């Protein structure tokens, strides 16, 4: 399962998404839809809510 980390500061919020590559085939098969949805949400949006945005140039 992927891991998330979040740092909320005064003016910035940083979200880190880590997807392990050393999972077994069984684990990967069981989580494939969940991972697709998470990855799609994080990479296809450049705005989150009303005020959050992703700095695509920092990827």
How do residues 15-32 score in pLDDT, each as one tens digit?
787 877 888 888 878 787
The pTM for the full model equals: 0.46
For residue 59, tell me if it sits in a domain: no
pLDDT beyond 80 at 7:
yes
pLDDT beyond 80 at 53:
no
Q: How many domains does the chain fold into?
A: 1
Contacts of 34 (CB under 8 A, 6+ apart): 1
SS (H, E, C) 23-55: CCHHHHHHHHHHHHHHHHHHHHCCEECCCEECC
Structural domain containing residue 9: 3-54
In 3-state terms, what secondary structure has residue 14? strand
Tokens of 44: 């296809």
Contact by Cβ (8 Å): 16, 9: no
For residue 28, tell me if it sits in a domain: yes
Query: What is the predicted pLDDT for the residue at 22?
Result: 84
Tokens of 13: 């919020």
pLDDT over 70 percentage in the chain = 97
């Amino acid at each position: 399962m992927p891991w998330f980390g979040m740092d909320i500061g005064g003016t910035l919020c940083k979200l880190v998404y880590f997807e392990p590559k050393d999972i077994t085939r069984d684990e990967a098969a069981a989580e494939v839809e969940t991972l697709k949805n998470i990855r799609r949400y994080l990479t296809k949006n450049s705005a989150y809510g009303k005020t959050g945005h992703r700095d695509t140039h920092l990827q």
